[in-house]
Amino acid sequence: MYRYDSYDEAFVRARVAQFRDQVRRRLAGELTEEEFRPHRLMNGLYLQLHAYMLRVAIPYGTLSSRQLRRLAEVADRWDRGYGHFTTRQNIQFNWPRLEDVPDILEALAEVGLHGIQTSGNCIRNITTDAYAGVAADEVADPRPFCELLRQWSSLHPEFSFLPRKFKIAVSASPHDRAAIRAHDIGLRLYRDDAGELAFEVLAGGGLGRTPMIAKTVREHLPARQLLPYVEAILRVYNRFGRRDHKFKSRIKILVHEIGLDAFRAAVEEEYARSLDPEDVELAALELERIEELFAPPPYEELPARDPLHERRLAEEPAFARFARTNLRPHRVPGYAIVDVSLKPVGGIPGDVTSDQMRRLADLADRFSFGELRTTHTQNLALPHVRLRDVHSLWELLEEAGLGTPNIGLVTDIVCCPGLDYCALATARSIPIARALARRFAELDAQERIGPLSIRMSGCINACGQHHIGHIGILGLEKRGEESYQITLGGRPDERTAIGRILGPGFSASEVVDAVEAVLRFYLEGRNGPQETFADFVERVGVETFREVVYAPVRAR
Amino acid sequence: MPLFAHGRWVEDPWRHLADDEPLGDVASVTVSLNRLLGPEGPAVLAHPGRLGVRLATEDRVESLEPFLCRLGLIVVVFANFADGRGFSTARILRRRLAWRGELRAAGRIFVDQYSFLRRCGFDSFEVPDERVASWHPDNVAIPLAYRTDSEGGVASIWRLRHNRCREPRP
DSSP assignments along A229-274, one per residue: HHHHHHHHHHHHS--S-GGG-SHHHHHHHH-HHHHHHHHHHHHHHH
Q: How far does A111 lie from chain B, in Å, by closest CA?
A: 19
Q: Would you say residue B168 has pLDDT above 70? A: no
Q: Would you say residue A520 has pLDDT above 50? A: yes
- What average pLDDT does this structure show over A486-491? 96
Class of B3-139 in CATH: alpha beta
Lowest mean pLDDT segment, chosen from A40-44, A108-112, A371-375: A40-44
* Contact status, residue A63 vs residue A373, Cβ threshold 8 Å: yes
Question: Can you give the pLDDT at residue B150?
Answer: 55
The answer to whether A286 contacts B162, with C-beta atoms less than 8 Å apart, is yes
Q: pLDDT tens across A161-203, in order?
A: 999 999 999 999 999 999 999 999 999 999 999 999 999 999 9
Which residue out of B76, B96, B142 would a mutagenesis test of the A interface target, given it has the greatest number of A Cβ atoms within 10 Å?
B142
- What average pLDDT does this structure show over A489-510? 94
Q: pLDDT tens across A15-63, in order?
A: 999 999 999 999 999 888 888 998 899 999 998 888 899 999 999 999 9
Q: pLDDT tens across A390-445, in order?
A: 999 999 999 999 999 999 999 999 999 999 888 889 999 999 999 999 999 999 99
- What average pLDDT does this structure show over A152-166? 96
Same domain, A315 and A337: yes
Q: Would you say residue A556 has pLDDT above 50? A: yes
Same domain, A420 and A519: yes
A346 C-beta neighbours (distance < 10 Å), count: 8
Q: How far does B89 lie from chain A, in Å, by closest CA?
A: 8
Same domain, A279 and A158: yes
The answer to whether A18 contacts B162, with C-beta atoms less than 8 Å apart, is no
**Chain A positions in Cβ-Cβ contact with residue B110 (cut-off 8 Å):** 35
| H/E run at residue A80 | none
Domain containing A145: what range?
134-293
Return the ∠ at Cα A257 (arms to A254 and A262), rounded to 5°: 80
Return the ∠ at Cα B117 (arms to B112 and B118), rounded to 5°: 110
Is position A126 within any domain? Answer: no
Same domain, A10 and A43: yes
DSSP state of A510: T
By C-alpha distance, the chain A residue nearest B119 is A157
- Domain residue spans in chain B? 3-139
We report the CATH number of the domain holding residue A394 as 3.90.480.20
Q: How confident is the model at residue B166 (pLDDT cuts 50, 70, 90)?
A: low
Our count of domains for chain A comes to 4
Question: What is the widest separation between alpha-carbon atoms in chain A?
Answer: 69
Main-chain dihedrals φ then ψ at residue A545, nearest 5 degrees:
-75, -25
A50: burial class by Cβ within 10 Å (0-12, 13-18, 19+)? exposed
Q: Would you say residue A327 has pLDDT above 70? A: yes
Same domain, A157 and A250: yes
Is position A514 within any domain? Answer: yes
By C-alpha distance, the chain B residue nearest A237 is B85
Cα of first residue to Cα of last residue in chain B, in angstroms, is 24
Is position A121 within any domain? Answer: no
Same domain, A29 and A147: no
Question: Can you give the pLDDT at residue A278?
Answer: 87
* Contact status, residue A233 vs residue A203, Cβ threshold 8 Å: yes
Is position A263 within any domain? Answer: yes
Same domain, A470 and A531: yes
Mean residue pLDDT across chain B: 91
Q: Would you say residue A99 has pLDDT above 50? A: yes
Return the ∠ at Cα A372 (arms to A371 and A376), rounded to 5°: 150
Question: Which residues, in sequence order, are bridge partners of residue A385?
Answer: A336
Q: d(Cα A72, Cα A83) in Å, to the nearest integer?
A: 8
Q: d(Cα A306, Cα A387) in Å, to the nearest integer?
A: 6
Q: pLDDT tens across B110-149, in order?
A: 898 999 999 999 999 999 998 898 899 887 788 889 987 7
The answer to whether B83 contacts A238, with C-beta atoms less than 8 Å apart, is no
- What average pLDDT does this structure show over A220-246? 97
Q: Would you say residue B167 has pLDDT above 60? A: no
Q: How confident is the model at residue B170 (pLDDT cuts 50, 70, 90)?
A: very low
- What average pLDDT does this structure show over A471-484? 94
B23 C-beta neighbours (distance < 10 Å), count: 18
* Contact status, residue A171 vs residue A187, Cβ threshold 8 Å: yes
Same domain, A375 and A419: no
> Identity (one letter) of the amino acid at A46?
Y
Q: pLDDT tens across B98-113, in order?
A: 999 999 999 999 898 9
We report the CATH number of the domain holding residue A223 as 3.30.413.10
- What average pLDDT does this structure show over B23-43? 93
Residue B81 in contact with partner chain A when CB distance is under 8 A: yes
Same domain, A484 and A547: yes
SS3 A190: strand
Of A404, A412, A411, A407, nearest to A516 by C-alpha is A411
Main-chain dihedrals φ then ψ at residue A197, nearest 5 degrees:
-75, 135
Question: Can you give the pLDDT at residue A48?
Answer: 85
Same domain, A141 and A264: yes
- What average pLDDT does this structure show over A484-505? 95
The answer to whether A235 contacts B91, with C-beta atoms less than 8 Å apart, is yes
Question: Which residues, in sequence order, are bridge partners of residue A491?
Answer: A497
Collect all residues from A whose CB is shorter than 8 A from any CB in B: 5, 7-8, 10-11, 14-15, 18, 21-22, 25, 30, 35, 38-39, 121, 151-152, 154-162, 235, 238-239, 243, 273-274, 276, 278-279, 282-283, 285-286, 289
ipTM: 0.95
Question: Can you give the pLDDT at residue B24?
Answer: 84
B98 C-beta neighbours (distance < 10 Å), count: 8
Main-chain dihedrals φ then ψ at residue A336, nearest 5 degrees:
-140, 160
Q: pLDDT tens across A353-363, in order?
A: 999 999 999 99
DSSP string, A429-483: -HHHHHHHHHHT--HHHHHHH-S--EEEESSTT-TT-GGGSSEEEEEEEETTEEE
Which residues 4-43 of chain B have a CB within 8 Å of chain A?
none
Q: CB neighbours of A392 closer than 8 A, spacing ≥ 6? A: A367
Same domain, A77 and A48: yes
Same domain, A194 and A270: yes
